[in-house]
């Protein structure tokens, strides 16, 4: 797992919840950090915030899905941006799931678990 969020509290909340469920978790502070670490970490699933400095979640997801070496990685967008056009944009990019903030940690864990199984 690679958890990407510029908010340290949210990043740690997601990471701890996933670690408690047995996932090996690494973190990144923004989209640029994600793209730099993804080859090293080799995650099955990435949770990705939308609104981040340097490189936002949309551009990050697009770059992940366009790259042959990373397009197989499942992407879960986690964001307060829940308008229909945002969800549609995520689908067009190839995002695998969309979780709206504030989120229920159990829902997030179920979503990640389902995608982690599919990606194996």
- Structural domains in the chain, CATH included, are 2-119 (3.40.50.2300)
Q: What's the pLDDT at 119?
A: 55
Containing 3, the helix (H) or strand (E) segment is strand 2-4
Q: Model's pTM, two decimal places?
A: 0.93
Asked if 50 contacts 57 with a C-beta cutoff of 8 angstroms, the reply is yes
* Cis before 102 (ω within 30): yes
Sign of CA dihedral 54, 82, 96, 10: positive
Rounded CA gap, 115 and 119, in Å?
6
Q: Which residue spans within 5-120 are E strands per DSSP?
A: 26-28, 45-49, 74-79, 97-100
Task: Count Cα neighbours of 85 within 13 Å in the Cβ-side half-sphere.
Answer: 0
Q: What's the pLDDT at 42?
A: 95
pLDDT in tens, the chain (120 residues): 999 999 999 999 999 999 999 999 999 999 999 999 999 999 999 999 999 999 999 999 999 999 999 999 999 999 887 788 888 888 899 999 999 888 899 999 999 999 997 654
Q: What's the pLDDT at 94?
A: 94
Tell me the two tokens of residue 108: 């997030």
Q: What's the pLDDT at 24?
A: 95
Strand partners, 100: 79
């Amino acid at each position: 797992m690679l958890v990407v969020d510029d908010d340290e509290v949210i990043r740690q909340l997601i990471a701890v919840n996933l670690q408690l469920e047995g996932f090996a978790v690494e973190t990144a502070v923004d989209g640029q950090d994600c793209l730099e670490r993804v080859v090293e970490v080799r995650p099955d699933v990435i949770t990705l915030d939308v609104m981040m400095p340097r490189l936002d979640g949309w551009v990050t997801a697009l770059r992940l899905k366009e790259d042959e070496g990373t397009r197989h990685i499942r992407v879960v967008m986690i964001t307060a941006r829940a308008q229909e056009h945002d969800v549609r944009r995520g689908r067009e990019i190839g995002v695998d799931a969309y979780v709206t903030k504030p989120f229920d940690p159990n829902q997030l864990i179920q979503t990640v678990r389902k995608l982690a199984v599919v990606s194996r």
